[in-house]
Chain A
């Protein structure tokens, strides 16, 4: 099936005017599959890290949300061991008026504001609530270990 115009336009715009701290490049052989990198936001435990993600636009995008997954290991209450992300706009709150760039911005914001009250990785969330400073230290450690080249 041919690529919808919307995906072509979004890709063109992502290339022409990229979001600061975020890059998304489509695969040559599958233009619905993107290699994404997000820089950890400043003043967060993920500062200084560069996180790799994969993003896939399903057949009925934009009526269904893109599938996004972290490839880099990250210590975060809303991201599990497999890199799956717990974020409302990727699930029930998806709207076809949202775009790849807005979704990636939301993920970057999620790194800046972890939400242990709506956890995906229960152990991380538990630790985050009980001893936040220790959890943040671990997150920093993981960032240094896995997310810096």
Chain B
């Protein structure tokens, strides 16, 4: 079968390179025509078969369950493909859906060969003449005198007879039918035509003859070839321009996305971590100038544990990983602060205890001194 238009490559069998015919799907989801698959597996031996596409093994045991018909929609798509009627050489110009071609040939096609309606005649005849009785007798073309079968005479008169003249609708010349097409396309002087400068603004219309005369003097027509090359060049430029514009848009979008990521990262991680980001961004090669511009103002020296960041595929993932490492840094700092805090509290408590002890010591000493003083005073008073 001959397909009218190119077929989607997904509907092509890898073995016969034609659109699938009775497609079968293997366990690995690869699809082939039923016949192709059978023929391929016929050449293989042993208990397993190998998928022609992926070389995946298919156990021969329970083989029926491992191949199945393709889904209905695939078959539907295949059946909807337009094909030329197999009788196109005979003259049928129909384009028919593949699923309906059998019906077309069997029931409708004018050029399908049927048995002659005369019981005694054994020859075939096209469907379109089959109801006119037996046409298998010799006769003569009334125009050119050639003798042929009656069944062929219609085609002959319609298409090939060189003596059957018809009148050209424009110039009233008489000529044979086979020559008419060429006459209209390039010879007849009375066919309506337009100036070749018409697409560029020349309003002249007339017959081929008058147009030919006009073209010699028409400025626009003489410029036409030049103008049309110009136009083609313009269109090409336009197309290239559009591609470039799309690229630019893409790049700009990427840039703004990156800037957004950077700006939304900076506030929560505060000044100290931002400066560290600057440090790491120096460690790894950065191509995005925008990112650098944001980092550099924050940069000042700080005691740093340099985070060894490996090269990243895309700037976005680089920035994200940067962000992640910064967050880790921050949580580590938080931990250290909490630890320090608890340590100082313990220290202060210890210190307080000690001073309290000392105070009680001092108090006791003062008390004993008072007692002594008291005692001395009382002895002095008694004396």
Kindly name the residue among A6, A64, A93 whose own CB sees the greatest number of chain B CB atoms within 10 A: A6
Asked whether, in the complex, the Cβ of A96 is within 8 Å of the Cβ of B52, the reply is: yes
Asked whether, in the complex, the Cβ of A5 is within 8 Å of the Cβ of B55, the reply is: no
Interface residue ranges of A1-40 to B (CB < 8 Å): 4-6, 9-10
Interface residue? B39 (CB, 8 A): yes
Asked whether, in the complex, the Cβ of B18 is within 8 Å of the Cβ of A63, the reply is: no
Nearest-neighbour CB distance to chain B for A14, whole angstroms, equals 12
Docked Cα-Cα span, A4 to B39, in Å, equals 14
Docked Cα-Cα span, A4 to B16, in Å, equals 9
Interface residue ranges of B3-26 to A (CB < 8 Å): 14-18
- Tell me what chain B mostly uses at the interface: helix, strand, loop, or mixed: loop
Q: Which residue of chain B has the shortest Cβ distance to A7 in the bound complex?
A: B17
Docked Cα-Cα span, A62 to B43, in Å, equals 11
Contact pick for A97, options B14, B18, B39, B43, CB 8 Å: B14
Taking CB atoms, residues of chain B closer than 8 Å to A4 are 16
- A residues near B (Cβ < 8 Å) are 4-6, 9-10, 62-64, 93, 95-97
Asked whether, in the complex, the Cβ of B15 is within 8 Å of the Cβ of A96, the reply is: yes
- Tell me what chain A mostly uses at the interface: helix, strand, loop, or mixed: loop
Docked Cα-Cα span, A64 to B50, in Å, equals 14
Docked Cα-Cα span, A5 to B15, in Å, equals 11
Nearest-neighbour CB distance to chain A for B33, whole angstroms, equals 11
Q: Which residue of chain A has the shortest Cβ distance to B14 in the bound complex?
A: A97
Nearest-neighbour CB distance to chain B for A29, whole angstroms, equals 24
* Given A63-B43, A96-B40: A6 and B53 interface contact (C-beta under 8 Å): no
Asked whether, in the complex, the Cβ of A63 is within 8 Å of the Cβ of B17, the reply is: no
Asked whether, in the complex, the Cβ of A5 is within 8 Å of the Cβ of B52, the reply is: no
Interface residue? B215 (CB, 8 A): no
Nearest-neighbour CB distance to chain A for B120, whole angstroms, equals 36
Interface residue? B36 (CB, 8 A): yes
Docked Cα-Cα span, A6 to B35, in Å, equals 14
Q: Which residue of chain B has the shortest Cβ distance to A8 in the bound complex?
A: B17
Contact pick for A6, options B16, B43, B50, B55, CB 8 Å: B16
Q: Count how many pairs of residues, one from A and one from B, have CB atoms less than 8 Å apart in the complex.
A: 30
Docked Cα-Cα span, A70 to B50, in Å, equals 29
- 1/0 contact trace for B48-67 toward A, CB 8 Å? 00101101000000000000
Asked whether, in the complex, the Cβ of A97 is within 8 Å of the Cβ of B15, the reply is: yes
Nearest-neighbour CB distance to chain B for A82, whole angstroms, equals 26
Docked Cα-Cα span, A3 to B50, in Å, equals 27
Docked Cα-Cα span, A3 to B203, in Å, equals 55
Taking CB atoms, residues of chain B closer than 8 Å to A63 are 39-40, 43
Asked whether, in the complex, the Cβ of A95 is within 8 Å of the Cβ of B50, the reply is: yes
Asked whether, in the complex, the Cβ of B53 is within 8 Å of the Cβ of A64, the reply is: no
Docked Cα-Cα span, A95 to B51, in Å, equals 8
Asked whether, in the complex, the Cβ of B17 is within 8 Å of the Cβ of A95, the reply is: no
Taking CB atoms, residues of chain A closer than 8 Å to B53 are 95, 97
Nearest-neighbour CB distance to chain B for A76, whole angstroms, equals 26
Asked whether, in the complex, the Cβ of B17 is within 8 Å of the Cβ of A10, the reply is: yes
Asked whether, in the complex, the Cβ of A95 is within 8 Å of the Cβ of B16, the reply is: no
Asked whether, in the complex, the Cβ of A93 is within 8 Å of the Cβ of B55, the reply is: yes
Q: List 16 A-B contacts (CB under 8 A).
A: A4-B16, A5-B16, A5-B17, A5-B18, A6-B15, A6-B16, A10-B17, A62-B15, A63-B40, A63-B43, A95-B50, A95-B53, A96-B14, A96-B15, A96-B40, A97-B52
Taking CB atoms, residues of chain A closer than 8 Å to B52 are 95-97
Taking CB atoms, residues of chain A closer than 8 Å to B50 are 95
Contact pick for A95, options B18, B39, B55, CB 8 Å: B55
9 nearest CB pairs, A to B: A97-B14, A97-B52, A95-B52, A6-B17, A96-B15, A9-B17, A97-B53, A96-B52, A96-B40
Docked Cα-Cα span, A10 to B14, in Å, equals 11
Nearest-neighbour CB distance to chain A for B266, whole angstroms, equals 46
